Amino acid sequence: MFGVIGIMIRFPRSEKQAWAAGRTAVHPFRNIRFQAVIWTPRFPVKVSRVFSYFLGSYGQLFGGEPFSVDLPPDVPSEIPRAILRSEDGLTVLQASADRLDMIRTVTPQGGAEVQLSESLRLATDLFAGYLGIIDGVAGRLACVLVRASTDDDPAWTLSRHFCRDEVLAGPINRPKEFELHALKRYSLDRGIEVNSWVRCRTGVQQAVAEKPEQRVIVVEQDLNTVVDGDRAREFAPDEMNAFFTPVSVELDRILSLYFPPEGHSRWSAR
């Protein structure tokens, strides 16, 4: 496993005051952004097929103004060529030269959250339908989920949550910002090897209407299939389902390892 910590330090309070304010309780997380991706490098995305299929089959979902642009060959392949949106702009499907992305967000500081299981089912249906009309396979798969939890002092909460007392008493005694990145690699069902990135960091939720901006703890989880050198495993629609179907449970399981539910014991020292 690989981990990186990035810290920025501030000095507005005395060390005694900072220690008195210490706490590690984390409020429940809210899913604020979901992204599912398939790469199709052997089957270049055709904008005309994207529009005809998705507007024909999912016209009620993608009722917003569609967008497309012809780009020269030397433009990076990840730049979107076509974008479809829901009327409220919260669901987006974008197609670049060799990948399809489905993105769902929620309005800042709203009470709603992205429904992970339902979003995964929709993404799987969208991707499987598209692979069916092009008679293609996916070369790589990914799911990214961003969660947020409000906190008055997220840097202090995160540092107290993850760091030993001797570190908190020394170099990380008054953090202004805090980031922890960790990468693990393991296999899911059917021998699907994945990279599992977890990024815990401080953030700010933008002010909306009469609600002021809020400080938050942000957790970004990125589960993606492994590419071995220049070769990537290819996924037919049924194999793609074997990746996306258990992702909801897997992402929740991973979150509970980093932030155990209240009443559960913390990690044992190693």
pLDDT digits (tens, 9 = 90+) for 10-63: 333 443 343 334 445 677 899 999 999 999 888 888 888 889 999 999 999 999
Whether this prediction's pTM lies above 0.95 is answered by no
**Average pLDDT of span 109-124:** 89
For residue 196, give its domain range.
2-42+124-258
Q: Express as a percent the part of the chain with pLDDT over 70.
A: 84
Instruction: Check: CB of residue 23 under 8 Å from CB of residue 157.
Output: yes
The yes-or-no verdict on residue 170 having pLDDT over 60 is yes
Cα separation, 105 vs 85, in Å, equals: 12
Mean pLDDT of the residues in the chain: 84
| Encoded tokens for 135 | 């008679």
- Give the residue from 127, 96, 134, 102 showing the smallest Cα distance to 239: 127
- Give the residue from 73, 84, 75 showing the smallest Cα distance to 50: 84
| pLDDT at residue 24, rounded to an integer | 59
Q: Identify the residue with better confidence: 70 or 17.
A: 70
Cα separation, 193 vs 53, in Å, equals: 31
The yes-or-no verdict on residue 265 having pLDDT over 70 is no
Cβ within 8 Å of residue 183, ≥6 positions away: 1, 2, 3, 195, 196, 197
Instruction: Tell me if 218 is assigned to some domain.
Output: yes
Instruction: Check: CB of residue 68 under 8 Å from CB of residue 80.
Output: no
pLDDT band at 270 (very low <50, low <70, confident <90, very high): very low
The yes-or-no verdict on residue 2 having pLDDT over 80 is no
**Average pLDDT of span 155-177:** 90
Q: Identify the residue with better confidence: 95 or 266.
A: 95
Instruction: Tell me if 237 is assigned to some domain.
Output: yes
What is the identity of the amino acid at 13? R
For residue range 221-251, list pLDDT tens digits in order: 999 999 876 667 889 888 899 999 999 999 9
The yes-or-no verdict on residue 81 having pLDDT over 80 is yes
Instruction: Tell me if 35 is assigned to some domain.
Output: yes
Return the DSSP state at 29.
Answer: P
Instruction: Tell me if 87 is assigned to some domain.
Output: no
Give the largest CA-CA distance in the chain.
65
The yes-or-no verdict on residue 137 having pLDDT over 70 is yes
Chain-centre distance for alpha carbon 201: 13
Chain-centre distance for alpha carbon 49: 27
Size of the chain in residues = 270
Instruction: Tell me if 49 is assigned to some domain.
Output: no
Instruction: Tell me if 20 is assigned to some domain.
Output: yes
| pLDDT at residue 25, rounded to an integer | 63
Instruction: Tell me if 251 is assigned to some domain.
Output: yes
pLDDT-wise least confident of 14-23, 46-55, 68-77, 93-102: 14-23
- Give the residue from 66, 64, 96, 65 showing the smallest Cα distance to 81: 96
Going from the C-alpha of 261 to that of each of 29, 55, 210, 239, 253, the distances in angstroms are 11, 42, 32, 32, 11
Instruction: Tell me if 69 is assigned to some domain.
Output: no
| pLDDT at residue 179, rounded to an integer | 95
The yes-or-no verdict on residue 189 having pLDDT over 90 is no
Provide the number of structural domains found in the chain.
1
Instruction: Check: CB of residue 140 under 8 Å from CB of residue 39.
Output: yes
